[in-house]
Amino acid sequence: MALEVAFGAVLTVLVDRLASRRVVAFIRGKKVNNVGLIRKLKQMLLSANAGLGDAEEKQTRNKAVRAWLGELKDALNEADSLLNEIGSEALRRRLEEAEFGSSSTSEVQNLIDSSDEFDESLKPKILDILDNLEYIVDEKKVLGLRDELTFGLEESLPTTSLQEDSGVLYGRDEDKEIIVKLLLSDDASTSTSNRVRVIPILGRTGIGKTELARSVNNDIRVKNHFDLQAWIWVSKDFDIVGITQTIYGSITSQRCDIEDLNLLQIKLKEALTGTRFLLVLDDVWDLSYISWDLLRRPFENEACQSKIIITTRDKHIASMMGTLPAHYLMEISDEDCWLLFVKHAFENAGTTAHSNPEVIRRQIVRKCKGSPLVAKTLGGLMRSERNLDKWELILGQDQPEIAHTARIEGGWELNESYANPCL
């Protein structure tokens, strides 16, 4: 593992690897059950990650914090090495098991003995890493490192396709043009498949996936290109009948109460046949391949110029549903964060907005960390507030406190997970 890689990225990769199907499948079912230890190891990594932002800010002026980061780096290397060992062992077993047919009884027994020995060696290795991480997490508290939920805000309300009057999209002009170009492209002549093209927009919570999809959906070029458009908010509770009813109602502008999925899909397919349509499935959380394969059947026809946009924070969802590579959203610039904050903090974003001390502006940008949702939430909290003392009070809060305040005042929900769920 390259030590120059940002701590947050390294932690995210490790957590993702620990939760991967490959690791879980390897651990589960062995004589020595280490599933619980692997789960605890993941939790400890997330606990260490919670204070990372504060530590990286303080390390330049605090030797003890620098030492803490060094200890964390060593623990991450140990966890990474362990996962590499598991990967190598899993590969070894697959290769040797492929030769079972030509192996003697003694060779097969040697393979079993070797596998059992490796399984038994995992527990002390995991326990050793856990001991180190527990010490590191306890030391984090002693050092007074604050927990920061970088991805701590989630939208709790359904989304719609309607834009604000201004229609301004901060920091996403290039992303928008990429998606629009994909939507307008005519790939019917180069494809032999009847499956509709699916474009995933991927990114962490609050990064602006929905706003980008909304802006693209309302672009005049897109509206002129497609015969029909539909916007569906999917969220956590996937209900194939309910979603199909909503799609049909959106396409036909008629209320749909059909409960029989077969009849419902037949009517939806009839409504879509011969049309060029755009469907946006916003905020897809948890969807199995079987469910997706069933949901998309009414969309499979000769109209290959039809498209589907999905927004998700889960790279596995993006990979499963997408027929085109996922478009991953990065953080927006500090300047765009500031402009978005100003838009929501001031009714008249003129001299009043820019007359605030530069130190206040820097604090706001630092809190945003490139997240449009955080910028908008902070703007809403300070909207039309002229008392700088209150600004400093809010800006002095930790990220969880800001999220809690936002949840109460702005209708946002505090996410319990520290991890970036889309990586």
Please give the DSSP secondary-structure letter assigned to residue 409: H
Question: Does residue 133 share a domain with residue 266?
Answer: no
197 vs 185: CA distance, rounded Å: 11
Of 299, 328, 357, which closes a domain?
Answer: 328
Q: Could you please report the per-residue DSSP string of 250-296?
A: HHHTS------HHHHHHHHHHHHTT--EEEEEEEE----HHHHHHHT
Burial 272-309 (b: 16+ CB within 10 A, else e): beeeebbbbbbbbeebeeeebeebeebbebebbbbbbb
Statement to judge: residues 238 and 263 lie in one domain: yes
Q: How many domains does the chain have?
A: 3
How far is Cα 396 from Cα 393, in angstroms, rounded to an integer? 5
> Measuring CA to CA, which residue among 208, 203, 149 is closest to residue 376?
208
Tokens linked to 199:
């474009």
Residue 16 predicted with pLDDT over 80: no
Token digits for 74?
A: 């060593």
182 and 301 in a common domain: yes
SS (H, E, C) 86-127: HHHHHHHHHHHHCCHHHCCHHHHHHHHHHHHHHHHHHHHHHH
User: Do 273 and 357 belong together in one domain?
Assistant: no
Instruction: Check: CB of residue 82 under 8 Å from CB of residue 128.
Output: no
The answer to whether residue 138 is domain-embedded is: yes
Q: Are 367 and 374 in contact (CB under 8 A)?
A: yes
**CA pair distance 274, 271, nearest whole angstrom:** 9
Domain that holds residue 342: 334-414
Q: Which of the two residues, 29 and 379, has the higher pLDDT score? A: 379
pLDDT band for position 413 (50/70/90)?
very low
Alpha-carbon distance of 283 to 265, in angstroms, equals 22
Determine what percent of the chain is predicted with pLDDT higher than 70: 67
The answer to whether residues 289 and 400 belong to one domain is: no
298 and 370, same structural domain? no
pLDDT per residue as tens digits for the range 278-324:
999 999 987 889 999 999 999 987 556 899 999 998 888 999 999 99
d(CA 244, CA 247): 5
Residue 421 lies in a domain: no
- Condensed to tens digits (0 to 9), the pLDDT of residues 122-143 reads 778 888 888 888 888 888 878 8
Q: Which of 328, 355, 388 is a domain's end point?
A: 328
Nearest CA-CA partner of 77 in 8, 12, 6, 10: 10
Residue 420 lies in a domain: no
Same domain, 290 and 349: no
Could you read off the pLDDT of 149-167 as tens digits, one per residue? 433 344 457 899 998 767 7
Name the pTM for this structure. Answer: 0.60
- Co-location of 317 and 353 in the same domain: no
Taken in order 313, 159, 413, 149, the sign of the CA dihedral is positive
Strands (E), 166-223: 197-202
Give the model's confidence band at 359: pLDDT under 50 very low, under 70 low, under 90 confident, else very high: confident
Q: Given this model, what pLDDT does residue 300 score? A: 83
- Is residue 147 one of the residues assigned to a domain? no
Same domain, 247 and 136: no
Please list, in sequence order, all residues whose beta carbon lies within 8 angstroms of the beta carbon of residue 19, skipping any fewer than 6 positions away: 42
Shortest CA distance to 376 belongs to which of 158, 147, 169, 146?
169
Instruction: Identify the three-state secondary structure at position 311.
Output: strand
Among 303, 328, 353, give the residue marking a domain's end. 328
Same domain? For 271 and 367 the reply is no
Domain membership flag for residue 158 = no
Would 356 be classed as within a structural domain? yes
Same domain, 180 and 319: yes
Residue 102 has pLDDT above 60, yes or no: no
Structure-model confidence comparison of residues 87 and 302, the more confident one: 87
Of the CA atoms within 13 Å of residue 356, those in its CB half-sphere come to 26
In a domain, 234, yes or no: yes
Considering the domain architecture, whether residues 220 and 340 belong to the same structural domain is answered as: no
